[in-house]
């Protein structure tokens, strides 16, 4: 996979923290060092970890403590990987909490992330702008559009609390490659908002696409055809 990314001149990559073999508890110190060395050799920087825990795990009593433990382990992994890979690598863990999450629980997770030098980026559409310490706002265009919102407005509204942004899209059938027929994201407007927001990384999100490789190529072409990021 790293060789494939390198062949496409990709500058950074995020890890799927729920994928077998890449879970925080499964990556020992030696494996982390080896993985980081592999990324450095290919000049690919580490942009964080995606940890899409099911929404009910943040509210059900039987899952809540386990979810907090997993997030803490993952923020530790993100911090260590960012340090090992170096460069412009970032220690961020992307999550999407439900609107019903206890505010104290989010605060506890943020405190834990701060202690290990990491940041939790919550991509919940209705996340309060006054986030607790250690928690920032993430913008996932597909989720915002599905909820009836505007990704451009979401970026502007986040302001200084913007922690991470993704590049994905939707059409009448659901998630689709960015820039395909019927897609709804205003790419130029979104890109302009990110220039103003000073975003360092934009993650092309390929979840739920039938052909991830093709979806990536379409998204990158659409992105490169838009406004210049300078």
Per-domain boundaries in the chain = 1-137, 140-230
Q: What pLDDT is recorded for position 130?
A: 79
Whether residue 16 contacts residue 23, with contact meaning beta carbons closer than 8 Å, is answered with no
- In DSSP terms, 170 is beta-bridged to 175
Rounded to whole angstroms, how far apart are CA atoms 121 and 50? 10
Dist CA 73 CA 116 (whole Å): 10
Q: In which residue ranges of the chain is pLDDT below 70?
A: 227-230
Question: What pLDDT digit, counting tens, does each position of 162-221 carry?
Answer: 999 999 999 999 999 898 889 999 999 999 999 888 888 999 998 889 888 899 999 999
**Residue 167 — φ and ψ, nearest 5°?**
-120, 105
The rounded distance, in Å, linking the Cα atoms of 162 and 2 is 28
Third-level CATH fold of 1-137: TIM Barrel (3.20.20)
Which secondary-structure segment (H or E) carries 162?
strand 162-167
Q: How many angstroms separate the CA atoms of 211 and 217, rounded?
A: 10
pLDDT reported for residue 179: 86
The pLDDT score that the predictor gives to residue 203 is 95
State pTM to two decimals. Answer: 0.93
Task: Tell me how far apart the alpha carbons of residues 137 and 95 are, in angstroms, rounded to a whole number.
Answer: 10
């Amino acid at each position: 996979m790293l060789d494939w990314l390198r062949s496409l001149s990709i500058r950074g990559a995020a890890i799927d923290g729920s994928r077998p073999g890449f879970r925080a508890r499964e990556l020992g110190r030696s494996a982390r060092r080896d993985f980081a060395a592999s990324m450095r050799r290919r000049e690919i920087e580490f942009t964080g970890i995606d940890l899409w825990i099911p929404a009910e795990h943040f509210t059900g009593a039987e899952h809540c403590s386990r979810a907090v433990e997993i997030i803490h382990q993952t923020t530790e992994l993100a911090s260590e990987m960012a340090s090992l890979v170096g460069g412009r690598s970032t220690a961020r863990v992307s999550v999407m909490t439900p609107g019903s999450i206890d505010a104290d629980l989010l605060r506890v997770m943020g405190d834990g992330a701060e202690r290990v030098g990491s940041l939790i980026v919550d991509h919940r559409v209705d996340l309060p702008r006054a986030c607790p310490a250690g928690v920032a706002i993430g913008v996932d265009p597909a989720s915002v559009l599905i909820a009836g919102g505007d990704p451009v407005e979401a970026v502007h509204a986040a302001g200084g609390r913007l922690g991470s942004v993704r590049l994905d899209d939707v059409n009448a059938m659901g998630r689709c490659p960015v820039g395909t027929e019927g897609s709804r994201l205003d790419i130029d407007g979104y890109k302009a908002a990110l220039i103003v927001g000073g975003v360092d990384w934009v993650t092309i999100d390929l979840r739920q696409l039938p052909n991830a490789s093709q979806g990536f190529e379409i998204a990158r072409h659409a992105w490169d055809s838009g406004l210049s990021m300078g």
